[in-house]
Amino acid sequence: MVQRNNTRKAYGGIILDYLEDKISFDNDMVCCYDELPLWSSPFGIMLLNNIPLKRNSSVVDIGCGTGFPLLELAQRLGESCRIFGIDPWEAAVSRAIRKKEQFRIKNVEIIKGVGEDMPFSGEQIDMITSNLGINNFEDPDRILKECFRVIKPGGKLIFTTNLYGHFDEFYLLFRAVLCCLKLEDEVSRLSKHIKKRYSMEAIEELVNRNGFLVKKVIRDNYSMRFADGSAFLNHYFIKLAFLQDWKEIVPENHRNAVFTALENRLNEIAEKNGEILFTVPMAYVECEK
């Protein structure tokens, strides 16, 4: 039986909106069609491949960014479900709204806000999800407490994340270069930076102390491959998401020496092995209230 909101009655029959909707590859669609962020896509695919898809659910995606996997999840859940995306990043929220309109998605509301303070009353939400959010939240405990408040008893908190061990091959080399140049303070700053990413044990502690139980974990690795270190260090996403933190580990007067040595070492490895490869350990974590 057809069960949907997007039907209208006409002349005693039913008009199916999806048959009427003339969606096309026009200029407006072109700006939204390439909607998959390459960095977060392996995590989002992991989430979409495993998340329970239950009709009549209310779902929140915290840190929805530019709309992936929020908009895909909303479409896979369909119109019996109500989905909310929440993110403080204004430009990303406007882009997600633009995509939602282009894709004619009716079951999503995108909110500019923070996971620490969500506009829902207590025990109202069936499932909260977040793709690559947890490493980016300033205070994950506060967000998880808020999740506990809004999720129904027995409801689910499901997230994906990269884990401690991320880019190990790079960090080992970074450390070796710092040691070689006798930059001891920088070595300890690098260790602190590496430890910012959660291990599986730390994730379990984080969710447990906020009232959730881990019910299912799926782990995997993916790798980013580059022809050499120069290609890696010049990649736009490496510069956008990682390089600033790496620069801050090293004082300005040593930066050129450190990064030249690092780039040279990476290039030597590429010369020897035919490529360089960085591992990204990933986890899909399903918890219950």
Ligand X SMILES: C[S@@+](CC[C@H](N)C(=O)[O-])C[C@H]1O[C@@H](n2cnc3c(N)ncnc32)[C@H](O)[C@@H]1O
* Smallest distance from ligand X to CB 13, Å: 41
Hey, what are 281's tokens? 């350990």
Phi, psi of 210 (to 5 degrees): -110, 15
Q: Which is nearer to ligand X, 96 or 249 (CB)?
A: 96
Q: Which is nearer to ligand X, 137 or 164 (CB)?
A: 137
Hey, what are 252's tokens? 């300005």
Q: Which of residues 16-35 bind ligand X (CB under 6 A)?
A: none
* Smallest distance from ligand X to CB 226, Å: 21
Q: Does 114 bind ligand X (CB under 6 A)?
A: yes
Q: Which of residues 45-104 bind ligand X (CB under 6 A)?
A: 62-65, 68, 86-89, 92
Among 56, 136, 234, 264, binds ligand X (CB under 6 A): 136
Q: Are strands 276-288 and 151-162 parallel, antiparallel or unpaired?
A: antiparallel
Beta pairing partners, 224? 278
Q: Are strands 13-16 and 58-62 parallel, antiparallel or unpaired?
A: unpaired
Q: Which is nearer to ligand X, 40 or 107 (CB)?
A: 40
Q: 174: Cβ–Cβ under 8 A, 6 or more apart, which residues?
A: 190, 246, 249, 262
Q: Does 132 bind ligand X (CB under 6 A)?
A: yes
- CA separation for the pair 289, 281 (Å, rounded): 26
* Smallest distance from ligand X to CB 48, Å: 11
Q: Which is nearer to ligand X, 87 or 286 (CB)?
A: 87
Beta strands in 30-150 (DSSP E): 58-62, 82-87, 108-112, 125-131
Q: Which is nearer to ligand X, 105 or 114 (CB)?
A: 114
Where along the sequence are the contacts to ligand X (CB under 6 A)?
37, 40, 44, 62-65, 68, 86-89, 92, 114-116, 131-133, 136-137
